[in-house]
Amino acid sequence: MTVRYGGPVIDPHHHLWDLSLGRHPWLEKARATGGEMVYGSLAPILKDYGIAEYSADAARQDIVATVHVEAGWSDAHPLEESRWLDGLDRTCGIARRYVARVPLDSPDVIRLLETEAANPNVVGIRDIVSWHPEPAKSFAPRPHRMADPAWRWGLAHLASLGLVFDLMLYPWQMDEAVDLVRAFPDTLFALNHAGSPADRSEEGMALWRSGLRALGREPNVRLKISDLVAYDNDWTLESLRPVVEHGLDCFGPARAMFASDFPVAGLHASFDEVYEVFRTVAAPLSLDEQRALFFTTANETYRLGMGEHHV
């Protein structure tokens, strides 16, 4: 008999923004160009998305805590995003912890990392390495950043500060990523968006499957199963199921976690639809395994400090 998870949920990946601040160049660019960028139109999310909006989207999912992941804040204004988050009313548990943005090849990287790490709400860093030959689909300024000595020099300081590194890449970069995570065995990596299976061709999905398998063998990598609908806009439960199941097969529930990636995932699915897929695909697992995916792995990875009374 399968039992669907009905306990408390931690969402370890979402974004908040206030566009009036003028600090999100990618959203401003999308607004200026009519909203076309990456995988379709961003027009529906070119508006403020704060705690109230997230709360409304997530109202039916028993979210007890979340991790805010950097939302493309301008590099010209470092450290500001965390301070902005500190000023919000986070008593409801939304943005309980942050993954902050620091360009690891910045000449000022040490000061930036140490300043972020001094904030008890900051538990991780993300510096996106997703590079694509088509500029509109590229999140990184150049390829092979993971192999760049200057970038790695910045990364080397994360573990000593107790910070997780959120790793966002494309499947064709997974060989480089395996080399990276092996070179930094004391750093904990959280792979975003199930490794971004963007190329849906047979060859592309085979590359994703083999790359994810290789990363799953590395003990210092955790998997975030998030925003699968970004790469499968015409999704169904049955089209997403094998992606979720392969991620679980590679990492196991103790090293994987479900996440919303709202509001970005909202371009292609409602919050409830996203979590309905998660709950349905996870239902055959034991309740302890389901609890790991919805709560425990995120709680431990991001030091959320949510006690047993929440479980």
- The domain in which residue 149 lies consists of 9-303
Residue 168: inside a domain: yes
Residue 1: inside a domain: no
Residue 218: inside a domain: yes
Measure the CA–CA gap between 260 and 118, rounded to whole angstroms. Answer: 27
Count: domains in the chain: 1
Residue carrying structure tokens 């996440």: 259
Percent of the chain with pLDDT over 90: 89
Residue 122: inside a domain: yes
Predicted confidence band at 252 (pLDDT cuts at 50, 70, 90)? Answer: very high
Residue 309: inside a domain: no
This model's pTM is above 0.75: yes
What average pLDDT does range 37-58 have in this prediction?
89
* Residue 101 DSSP SS3: strand
CATH number at residue 48: 3.20.20.140
Residue 35: inside a domain: yes
- Pair 260, 267: CB distance under 8 Å: no
pLDDT in tens, 56-92: 999 999 999 999 999 999 999 999 999 999 999 999 9
Measure the CA–CA gap between 239 and 104, rounded to whole angstroms. Answer: 36
- Pair 104, 154: CB distance under 8 Å: yes
* Residue 308 DSSP SS3: helix
Residue 2: inside a domain: no
> Alpha carbon 264 to chain centroid distance?
11
pLDDT in tens, 116-170: 999 999 999 999 999 988 887 888 988 999 999 999 999 999 989 999 999 999 9
